[in-house]
Structure 1
Amino acid sequence: MPKKFNFIILGLAVLLSACSNNKTTLSKRGQTEYEIVFMDNASKQVYLAAEKLAEHLETISGASFDVVGESSQTTKKKIYVGNIKEESLEYHQIKIQTENGNLYVSGGSDAATQNAVYEFLEKFLDCKWYAPGVAKIPEMKTISLNPIDYSYTPEITTRTVHSRLFYQNHEFADQLKVTYEAFPTYVPSARVHTFHKFMPEEVFYEEHPEYYALRGDKRLPTQLCLTNETVLEIVKDSVAALFERHPNAAVLSVSQDDNQQYCQCPVCSKVDEAEGSPAGTMIQFVNQVAKSFPEKTISTLAYQHTRKPPKLRPEENVLITLCSIECDRSAPIADKCQDFANDLTGWGKLTNNIRIWDYTTQFTNFLAPFPNIRTLQPNIQLFRDNNAQWVFEQHSNNPSELFELRSYMTAKLLWNPNLDFQGLLEEFTDGYYEEAAPFVREYVNKIHDQLQEVPDFFLFLYGDPSEAFGSYLNPELLKEYVALFDAAEEAVSQKPVVVNRVKLARMGIDYAVLEASRKNLTEDLSLTVADANGVESINPTVALLLDNFSKTAKANDITLMNEMGFTVNEYGANYLSALEMAKKPNKAKGKKVVTLTQPKKYAGEDPMVLTDGALGGSSFYANWLGYEGNRMEVVVDLGKIQSVSSISMAFLQVTNHVVFFPSEVQYLGSMDNENFVSLGTLANPKPLNKKSKVNDIQYFDLDFNPTNLRYIKVIAPNTPTPYWHHAAGLPSWVFADEIIID
Structure 2
Amino acid sequence: MTLVCNANTNYEIVFLGNATKHEYQSAETLQKYIQKISNVKLDLVDESSQTKKHKIYVGNVLNEKLKKHQIKIKTDNNHLIISGGSDEATRNAVYEFLELYLGCKWYAPNVEDVPSLKSIKIPLNIDYTHNPEIKTRTVHSRLFYEDINFANKHKVTYKSFPFYVPKARVHTFHVFIPEEKFYKSNPEYFALRGNKRLPTQLCLTNKTVLEIVKDSVRSLFENNPETSVLSVSSNDNTQYCTCNDCKKIDEEEDSHAGTMIRFVNEVAKSFPDKTISTLAYQYTRKPCKTKPLKNVLITLCSIECNRSAPITEKCTAFADDIKGWRALTDNIRIWDYTTQFTNFLAPFPNFNTLQPNIQFFRDHNTKWVFEQHSSNPSELFELRSYLMAKLLWNPDANVDEIITEFTNGYYHEAGSYVKSYIDKIHEELKKHPDFFLFLYGDPSQAFNSYLSPDLLKHYVKLFDDAEKAVANKPEVLKRVKVARLSIDYAVLEACRKSISNDFTITKNTKTLVENFMSVCKEANITLMNEMRFTVKDYGNAYLKSIQMALQPNIASGKKVTLLTKPKKYAGENPQTLTDGALGGSNFYSNWLGFEGNHLEAVIDLEAKKDVKSISTAFLQVTNHIVFFPKQVTYYGSVDGKSYLKLGTITNQHPLSKTSKINDIQYFNLSIKTSQLRFIKIKAENLKEAPYWHHAAGLPSWVFADEVIIN
The normalised TM-score by structure 2 is 0.99
Contact 1:660 1:733 in 2 (8 A): yes
- Say if 2:554 is the partner of 1:554: no
Task: Please state whether the residue corresponding to 1:30 is helix, strand or coil.
Answer: coil
- State the partner residue of 1:380: 358
- Say if 2:702 is the partner of 1:724: no
Opposite residue 96 of structure 1, the aligned amino acid is I
- Say if 2:554 is the partner of 1:576: no
- Say if 2:383 is the partner of 1:416: no
State the Cα deviation string for residues 697-733 of structure 1 (Å, max 9, x = none). Answer: 0111111211221111111111231001000111000
State how 1:15-54 maps to structure 2 within 5 Å. 24-54=1-31
State the Cα deviation string for residues 325-380 of structure 1 (Å, max 9, x = none). Answer: 00000001111000000101111111111000000000000000000011110010
Q: CA deviation at 1:585?
A: 0.9
- State the partner residue of 1:284: 262
1:98 and 1:694 map into 2 onto residues whose CA distance is 58
Q: CA deviation at 1:74?
A: 3.5
Q: CA deviation at 1:618?
A: 0.3
Counterpart pick for 1:112 among 84, 89, 100: 89
Q: CA deviation at 1:69?
A: 2.9
Q: CA deviation at 1:261?
A: 0.5
Opposite residue 591 of structure 2, the aligned amino acid is W
2:656 and 2:49 map into 1 onto residues whose CA distance is 66
1:607 and 1:616 map into 2 onto residues whose CA distance is 14
1:220 and 1:124 map into 2 onto residues whose CA distance is 60
Q: CA deviation at 1:587?
A: 1.2
- Say if 2:617 is the partner of 1:641: no
State how 1:419-458 maps to structure 2 within 5 Å. 419-458=397-436
State how 1:259-408 maps to structure 2 within 5 Å. 259-408=237-386
Opposite residue 676 of structure 1, the aligned amino acid is Y
Opposite residue 27 of structure 2, the aligned amino acid is A
- State the partner residue of 2:454: 476
Opposite residue 127 of structure 1, the aligned amino acid is C
Opposite residue 741 of structure 1, the aligned amino acid is I
State the Cα deviation string for residues 456-478 of structure 1 (Å, max 9, x = none). Answer: 00000000000000111000110
Q: CA deviation at 1:510?
A: 0.7
Counterpart pick for 1:169 among 128, 143, 147: 147
Opposite residue 740 of structure 1, the aligned amino acid is I
Q: CA deviation at 1:70?
A: 3.0
Counterpart pick for 1:514 among 479, 482, 492: 492
Q: CA deviation at 1:166?
A: 0.8
State how 1:155-234 maps to structure 2 within 5 Å. 155-234=133-212
Contact 1:222 1:725 in 2 (8 A): yes
1:302 and 1:242 map into 2 onto residues whose CA distance is 23
1:144 and 1:544 map into 2 onto residues whose CA distance is 53
- Say if 2:106 is the partner of 1:138: no
- State the partner residue of 1:608: 575
The normalised TM-score by structure 1 is 0.94
- State the partner residue of 1:4: none
Opposite residue 40 of structure 2, the aligned amino acid is A
State the Cα deviation string for residues 620-639 of structure 1 (Å, max 9, x = none). Answer: 01110000000101111111
- Say if 2:572 is the partner of 1:595: no
- State the partner residue of 1:14: none
Q: CA deviation at 1:583?
A: 0.9
Counterpart pick for 1:62 among 16, 32, 39: 39
Contact 2:453 2:502 in 1 (8 A): no
Runs of 5+ unmatched residues, structure 1: 1-23, 529-537
State the Cα deviation string for residues 609-666 of structure 1 (Å, max 9, x = none). Answer: 1111111010001110000000101111111112211111110000000000001111
- State the partner residue of 2:512: 545
1:77 and 1:596 map into 2 onto residues whose CA distance is 87
Counterpart pick for 1:739 among 691, 707, 710: 707
1:235 and 1:71 map into 2 onto residues whose CA distance is 55
Contact 2:140 2:371 in 1 (8 A): yes
Task: Please state whether the residue corresponding to 1:125 is helix, strand or coil.
Answer: coil
Q: CA deviation at 1:163?
A: 0.5
Counterpart pick for 1:461 among 439, 444, 447: 439
State how 1:482-493 maps to structure 2 within 5 Å. 482-493=460-471
Contact 1:213 1:225 in 2 (8 A): yes
Task: Please state whether the residue corresponding to 1:135 is helix, strand or coil.
Answer: strand
Q: CA deviation at 1:72?
A: 3.5
Q: CA deviation at 1:85?
A: 2.5
1:82 and 1:371 map into 2 onto residues whose CA distance is 42
Task: Please state whether the residue corresponding to 1:547 is helix, strand or coil.
Answer: helix
2:273 and 2:46 map into 1 onto residues whose CA distance is 35
Q: CA deviation at 1:103?
A: 1.2
- State the partner residue of 1:103: 80
Contact 1:31 1:62 in 2 (8 A): no
Q: What RMSD, in angstroms, separates the aligned Cα atoms of the two structures? A: 1.0
Number of residues paired by the alignment? 708
1:166 and 1:667 map into 2 onto residues whose CA distance is 52
Opposite residue 301 of structure 1, the aligned amino acid is L
Q: Which has the larger radius of gyration?
A: 1
1:124 and 1:481 map into 2 onto residues whose CA distance is 36
Counterpart pick for 2:220 among 234, 239, 242: 242
Q: Which deviates more, 233-242 or 414-423?
A: 414-423
- Say if 2:640 is the partner of 1:673: yes
Task: Please state whether the residue corresponding to 2:582 is helix, strand or coil.
Answer: coil
2:169 and 2:700 map into 1 onto residues whose CA distance is 29
Task: Determine what percentage of the aligned residue pairs are the same residue.
Answer: 64
1:417 and 1:256 map into 2 onto residues whose CA distance is 31
Q: CA deviation at 1:139?
A: 2.0
1:272 and 1:31 map into 2 onto residues whose CA distance is 72
- State the partner residue of 1:691: 658
Opposite residue 549 of structure 1, the aligned amino acid is F
Contact 1:51 1:67 in 2 (8 A): yes
2:287 and 2:676 map into 1 onto residues whose CA distance is 61
Q: CA deviation at 1:395?
A: 0.4
Q: Which deviates more, 494-503 or 105-114?
A: 494-503
- State the partner residue of 1:533: none
Q: Which deviates more, 416-425 or 73-82?
A: 73-82
Task: Please state whether the residue corresponding to 2:101 is helix, strand or coil.
Answer: helix
Q: CA deviation at 1:75?
A: 3.6
Task: Please state whether the residue corresponding to 1:382 is helix, strand or coil.
Answer: helix
2:494 and 2:130 map into 1 onto residues whose CA distance is 48
Q: Which deviates more, 348-357 or 32-41?
A: 32-41
State the Cα deviation string for residues 505-554 of structure 1 (Å, max 9, x = none). Answer: 111111101000001111121113xxxxxxxxx2x1x2222222111101
Counterpart pick for 2:669 among 686, 699, 702: 702
- State the partner residue of 2:66: 89
Contact 1:31 1:64 in 2 (8 A): no
2:78 and 2:428 map into 1 onto residues whose CA distance is 54
Q: CA deviation at 1:133?
A: 1.6
Q: CA deviation at 1:144?
A: 2.4
State the Cα deviation string for residues 655-680 of structure 1 (Å, max 9, x = none). Answer: 00000000111111111112111111
